[in-house]
Amino acid sequence: MSMQQWPNSGPYGNVPQRQPGPVPGPGGQQPMMRASDSDRARAEDVLKAGYAEGRLSKHEFDQRMAHVHSATTYGELHHLLADLPQGPSPLPAPAPAFQAPVPAPMPYAPARPWSPVPPPQQTNGNAVGALVCGVLCPFTWGVTAIPAIILGHKARSDIQRTREKGDGMALTGLVFGYLTLVGWMMLLMLGIATGF
């Protein structure tokens, strides 16, 4: 390759240089293509690595760093890094990986038919009333016996229809009510028999 004098070329005056040619810049880019901020950042990293490894003096490092900030093309960056190992060139973006077709989901088949959770059973109010009236029979001298019997029968018929809780309470109220009535009837008959 022929050598040629370039008068007043570059900041160092008349220096014999190679005939300029299409030397690609970093990453295989054309020298006249404009460099980006990320390209200048990569050049700074190469200079820092060269300085840390002892390839550049402090003066050379400072001078080249100043030129990196003012460089506008790949050719200018390549000129600053030509005598330094630059590491691997940036890799192109990987092609999208092949994705196998996703199989269609199987239709959902429940194991057993869904049924709503039944609400908690309530206690029948008449059954509670029958129990209270039945328990109070001995304390009220039998006054609450008839209400206990009426509420007990009503509660048991409601429970058969609505499936509520409280059948035992209604039955207890009925027992107390009937026992109280039977007791009063026996006392009445005994009083009649004895003429009291």
Determine contact, residues 172/131, Cβ cutoff 8 Å: yes
Mean pLDDT taken over the chain: 75
Q: Full-prediction pTM beyond 0.85?
A: no
Task: For 80-97, write each residue's pLDDT tens digit.
Answer: 888 877 654 444 555 566
pLDDT computed for residue 96 by the predictor: 61
Residue 6 confidence (pLDDT) above 60: no
In the chain, at which residue ranges do the beta strands (DSSP E only) sit? Answer: 3-4, 17-18
Q: pLDDT-derived band of residue 54, with 50, 70 and 90 as boundaries?
A: confident
Burial class of 74 by CB neighbour count within 10 A (0 to 12, 13 to 18, 19+): buried
Determine contact, residues 74/33, Cβ cutoff 8 Å: yes
Determine contact, residues 155/124, Cβ cutoff 8 Å: yes
pLDDT computed for residue 7 by the predictor: 41
Task: For 132-178, write each residue's pLDDT tens digit.
Answer: 998 888 888 888 888 899 998 898 888 888 888 888 898 898 899 89
pLDDT computed for residue 113 by the predictor: 62
pLDDT computed for residue 21 by the predictor: 42
